[in-house]
Every structure is written in C-alpha cells, then in structure tokens.
C-alpha cells in the first residue's frame, strides 16, 4: 500500500532531525533519572496518603514490618481497632490496615498472612502502600521459607545475592517499569506539540497543498505523514523504555504488550495534534492547548486510579469518574493490570473521533 510506503518515507525523513529526536530521547531519560534518584534518596518511604495500622500481632514481625516501611508512629495503633476505625470515620485517614494476631507465626512458618483493609471507597490512593506491604511481606515469607527448608542459613545470604528466586505467574507490571511507562505515556501525549509543528510547517512549505493537488490520492499522502509521526514516536519512546532499564532496573517482560500501548498512545497523540492544529492554526496557541489538555488529563486519570496518592476520600464523585474519559486512564490501567482489551479499543475510538474532526475539509486547510 502506498500509505505504508509514504509512512516509512516520512519516518526516515524525521529520524534525520537530530535535534528533535535528541530532545524526545534525552528529556524523558533526564526526568526518569531525577525521579528515580529522588525516590531512592528518600529512604524508600512509602507513605503517600494517610493510612492507619491496627497491629494485633502477638509477635515482633508486624512491628518490624512497619518500621521497615517507615510508617509514622502516629499512624500505628496497637490492639486498638476502634480507635483506628474512628480515624477512618473522621476522614483523618483513607484506609486502615489490620495486622492479624498470627502474623509473626505465619511469617516464621513461611506462610503469607492476610492483611485486612478497611476503606470508605475504592481507588483512594492506597496503591503505593499496598504494593509496598505486599512486596515486604513476600520478602519476609520467602526468607523464612528458604531458611525452614535449609536452602539458606540466614537472611543475609539473600542480601549477598547467593540465592536466586523466581516468582512465577506475576501478572502486574513491576513498580519501576510502571513508573517509567507512566512518564513515557505522558511524554507521548505532550508530543502532540511536535505533531502540530510538523503539520504547520508542511502547510507553510506547501507540502500539504502539493499532496492534495497531485495525481496521488490526498488521503494516502496525508495518511503517510501521520503514519510516519506514529512510527517515529513509537520508535523513540520504546528506545526510552529500553534505556530506562539501566536507570531504574526492571525486566523486559511483555515487550510486545508495552509496544502495543506505546503505539496506541502515539496514535492518540497524533490525533490530538491534528485536531488542535485544525482548531487554532497557531503554533503558540496549539502548544498552550496541548499542555493544558496533557496536564489536566494526566491529573484526572491518576486521580481516578488512586495512583501516587492523588485520589482522596474527600474528593467529589464526579472528579473521581471524569478521569475515565481520558486516554491516560485506560492506558495506565492497561499497563498496571497487563490487560489489552477493551482498553486499547477505547483509546483508539477516542483517537478516531479527534482524527476525523481534525480532517474535515482538509483540502481547504491545505490550500488556503
């Protein structure tokens, strides 16, 4: 198909622009490095929202767990469930976690204890805490299980990398990979600015006009231009993800799945750039509009998902649900839960609406 050939021609042309490609590649890596350094230098504190802990444990493992997670003393209640739940009812905290009586006993047996959670609503920003709780409990269970089976003699052997463990059937994306992918998706959305710049430059140089007026079908040439933009974004930001491994440190599991989400995000970015360019036809105004859309949709999507402590129990219902109308919500959810369907179809449908609106009377736009 001609559209594919034109797409690869545009891809080869754009990849030769070292300044633009360099900025698209280096800027995300700088941000990822800074955020990763800030997280590590913060001592691994996991508290991003207010949560309380009711410790019923008869041993010391529960207390040690909270110390390792750097949970503030004011958030810990020892065998006082009523007071912990009272703080939840007063909206002082968004969740209460109960460490059971047999917590230490199960840990020492190499069994995973169950932590009860009390919340007023789903999606109230507790994901980081729950992930850290789960990871630390898994670590303790693994250590004691290996000691009980005489595979290791002490917990220090795990720290010295003398034992390798494999966790099978892990569905969710690693925390480090999710952080990097979330940043990449946002950079892709903001890349709609580059799309608008390309389109306006094509118009100034009469490239769009010639494409429309030549014997070739206009939609094939213009479609090839858009395809080239999608390919260049997908290529650059997948390269960022691969480079991010050496900064954050994560496995390369589900590369095909991640590539699909990157391509879908790029399709939306190009569609957004096309629509906003047709709407305003001024590069400065377009840049402002894209930034407003990018920032607001990112905030709303993270707020709705309860990621990074943005979604609090006092938030209005409409604010928690409006984020579901953003592409980031469905892409982040797809990444977090390793699910493709129906997420990508919803984002593609959003993209199709913007793309169609941006290409109404495209001949008039190209020739005037």
Q: What is the pLDDT of residue 296?
A: 92
Domains, the chain, ordered by start: 2-39+174-367 (no CATH), 51-159 (3.40.1710.10)
If one counts every other C-beta atom within 10 angstroms of the C-beta of residue 240, the result is 24
Written as tens digits, the pLDDT of the chain (368 aa) is: 678 888 888 889 889 888 888 989 999 999 988 887 876 665 444 445 578 999 999 999 999 999 888 888 888 999 999 998 998 888 888 889 999 999 999 999 888 899 998 887 655 567 677 778 888 898 888 888 888 887 777 666 655 544 444 434 444 556 677 788 889 999 999 999 988 988 888 888 887 777 776 665 656 777 888 899 999 999 999 999 999 888 887 766 678 888 999 999 999 999 999 999 988 888 899 999 999 999 999 888 877 776 544 444 555 677 778 888 999 999 988 887 778 888 999 999 999 999 888 888 777 777 77
Per 3-state DSSP, the chain is made up of helix, strand and coil in percentages (nearest 5) of 70, 5, 25
Are the C-beta atoms of 336 and 173 separated by less than 8 Å? yes
Q: Sign of the CA dihedral 140, 145, 150, 152? A: negative
HSE value, Cβ hemisphere, 13 Å, CA-based, for 48: 20
β-bridge pairing 95-99 and 76-78: unpaired
Report the distance separating Cα 330 and Cα 261, nearest Å.
10
């Amino acid at each position: 198909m001609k559209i594919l050939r034109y797409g690869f021609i545009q891809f080869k042309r754009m990849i030769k622009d070292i300044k633009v490609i360099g900025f698209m590649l280096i800027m995300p890596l700088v941000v990822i490095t800074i955020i990763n350094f800030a997280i590590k230098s913060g001592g691994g504190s996991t508290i991003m929202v207010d949560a309380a802990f009711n410790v019923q444990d008869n041993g010391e493992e529960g207390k040690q767990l909270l110390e390792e997670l750097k949970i503030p003393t004011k958030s810990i209640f020892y065998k006082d469930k009523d007071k912990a739940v009272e703080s939840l009812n007063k909206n002082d905290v968004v969740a209460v976690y109960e460490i059971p009586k047999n917590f230490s006993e199960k840990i020492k047996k190499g069994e995973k204890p169950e932590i009860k959670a009390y919340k007023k609503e789903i999606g109230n920003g507790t994901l980081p805490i729950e992930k850290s709780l789960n990871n630390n409990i898994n670590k303790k269970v693994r250590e004691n299980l290996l000691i009980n089976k005489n595979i290791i003699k002490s917990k220090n052997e795990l720290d010295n990398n003398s034992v390798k463990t494999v966790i099978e059937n892990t569905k969710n994306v690693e925390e480090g990979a999710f952080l990097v992918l979330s940043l990449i998706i946002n950079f892709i959305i903001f890349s709609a600015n580059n799309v608008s710049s390309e389109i306006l430059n094509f118009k100034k140089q009469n490239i769009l006009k010639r494409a429309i007026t030549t014997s070739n079908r206009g939609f094939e040439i213009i479609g090839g231009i858009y395809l080239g933009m999608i390919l260049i974004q997908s290529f650059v930001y997948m390269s960022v993800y691969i480079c991010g491994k050496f900064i954050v440190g994560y496995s390369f599991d589900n590369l095909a799945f991640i590539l699909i989400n990157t391509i879908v995000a790029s399709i939306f970015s190009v569609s957004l750039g096309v629509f906003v360019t047709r709407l305003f036809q001024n590069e400065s105004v377009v840049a402002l509009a894209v930034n407003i859309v990018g920032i607001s949709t990112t905030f709303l999507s993270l707020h709705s998902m309860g990621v990074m402590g943005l979604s609090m129990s006092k938030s209005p219902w409409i604010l928690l649900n409006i984020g579901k109308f953003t592409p980031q919500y469905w892409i982040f959810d797809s990444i977090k839960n390793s699910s493709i369907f129906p997420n990508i179809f919803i984002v593609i449908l959003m993209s199709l609406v913007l793309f169609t609106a941006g290409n109404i009377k495209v001949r008039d736009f190209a020739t005037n």
